[in-house]
Amino acid sequence: MTTTDPNCLFCKIVAGQIPSKKVYEDEQLLVFHDIHPWAPVHVLLIPKLHIASMAEVGPEHAALLGHMTALVPRLMRELGVTNGFRTVVNTGPDGGQEVYHLHMHAMGGPRPWLKG
């Protein structure tokens, strides 16, 4: 596994080659607003390490996934989501994955949402 993929959209966003509306960044993760939101608040949490999908996650990624998951409640509060939220990780073609770089959707805000 490589740390980046030069053809990956999300690796290009991490590298600053494609702009994003950042919400949060640290040494492991970048979080930004989805350009096609399904909810009033819809952000993507992506690891800076290129992992193509959840199907490629191994025990060595446990801390990274824990960090992603534990960060969501804080970010949702900071973004004004007060009545619950949804987290989704699409995996592979049958799971609806469109960008092959592991990412977690965090969505919240008043219902009804347009999609979902």
The model's pLDDT over 93-114, given as tens digits with 9 standing for 90+, comes to 999 999 999 999 999 999 888 6
Measured CA angle at 85 (ends 80, 87), to 5 deg: 125
Query: With 60 as the cut, is the pLDDT of residue 38 above it?
Result: yes
* Helix, strand, or coil (residue 22): strand
* pLDDT for position 81: 97
Q: Pick the catalytic residue: 42, 50, 101, 103?
A: 103
Q: Could you give the CA distance from residue 59 to residue 61 in angstroms, rounded to a whole number?
A: 5
Tens of pLDDT, residue by residue over 51-73, are 999 999 999 999 999 999 999 99
Q: Which of 31, 61, 51 is nearest to 97 (CA)?
A: 51
* pLDDT for position 113: 82
Q: Which CATH architecture has domain 9-108?
A: 2-Layer Sandwich (3.30)
% of the chain residues with pLDDT over 70 = 96
Residue 50 annotated among the catalytic residues of the structure: no
Query: With 70 as the cut, is the pLDDT of residue 1 above it?
Result: no
- Is residue 34 within 8 Å of residue 43, measured between CB atoms? yes
